[in-house]
Amino acid sequence: MAIDFTVRHMKKSDLDAVFLIEEECFSVPWSKRSLSEAFSHTPWQFFVAEHEKNIVGYGGVYMILDEGQISNIAVLSSFRGNGIGFAILNKIIDHSKAQGAVRITLELRESNNPARALYEKCGFIQVGCRPNYYTHPVENAILMDKNL
Ligand SMILES: CC(C)(COP(=O)(O)OP(=O)(O)OC[C@H]1O[C@@H](n2cnc3c(N)ncnc32)[C@H](O)[C@@H]1OP(=O)(O)O)[C@@H](O)C(=O)NCCC(=O)NCCS
């Protein structure tokens, strides 16, 4: 059965919880300091998913002129498959539109089928590939775009 959650703007007090999600979900996580600096930097906007007062997912987007660049969307493994990633991504899309973006871009590991399926479900298409872009392990990056 689906769980109840809400997606809202991230607050400074969410930083520790978001950092834990980064650590759980990525082999090369953002440091707490990088997250904190990005959080305080206006072109960035972060959203969190909250379930019973716990932060269980988050996503971030960086606005450059008329383009939104998604940094990450991540959901704690035990909460996946409940529509949380989809809800965070839609929040990012709505936010980017409201900021006047005409396009959203992102990159992801070539083997990341769950994320690719999520982005395709929301209308993103593959527009390129950066060979050996990622480390730990080395892997190609797939570039995806969505026109708003
Ligand atoms: C990618 C991720 C954010 C998806 O979050 P989630 O909350 O589990 O996703 P949702 O439940 O909202 O699923 C939405 C859609 O994503 C796709 N999807 C999600 N998990 C999937 C899986 N394991 N296999 C295939 N497709 C999957 C499906 O299209 C799904 O739609 P459907 O339920 O109608 O089939 C999550 O797997 C995650 O945190 N992964 C680790 C971090 C990461 O790799 N982030 C992306 C890099 S930027």
Confidence of residue 1 (pLDDT cuts 50, 70, 90): low
Confidence of residue 33 (pLDDT cuts 50, 70, 90): very high
DSSP 114-148: HHHHHHHHTT-EEEEEEEEEETTTTEEEEEEEEE-
Residues 76, 80, 82, 87: is their CA dihedral positive or negative? positive
Please say if the pLDDT value at position 42 is more than 90.
Answer: no
Q: Which atom of ligand 1 is nearest to 83's Cα? A: 12
Give per-residue pLDDT as tens, 102-111.
999 999 999 9
From CA 110, how far away is CA 105, in angstroms rounded?
A: 15
CA of residue 85 to ligand 1 center, whole Å: 6
Q: For residue 18, give both structure tokens.
A: 């978001």
Give per-residue pLDDT as tens, 48-84.
999 999 999 999 999 999 999 999 999 999 999 999 9
Q: Which atom of ligand 1 is nearest to 57's Cα? A: 39
Percent of the chain with pLDDT over 90: 97
Residue 2: what pLDDT?
83
The residue ranges of every structural domain in the chain are: 6-105
Q: For residue 10, give both structure tokens.
A: 């991230």
Question: Which amino acid residue places its CA nearest to atom 21 of ligand 1?
Answer: 114
The yes or no reply on domain 6-105 and CATH 3.40.630.30 is yes
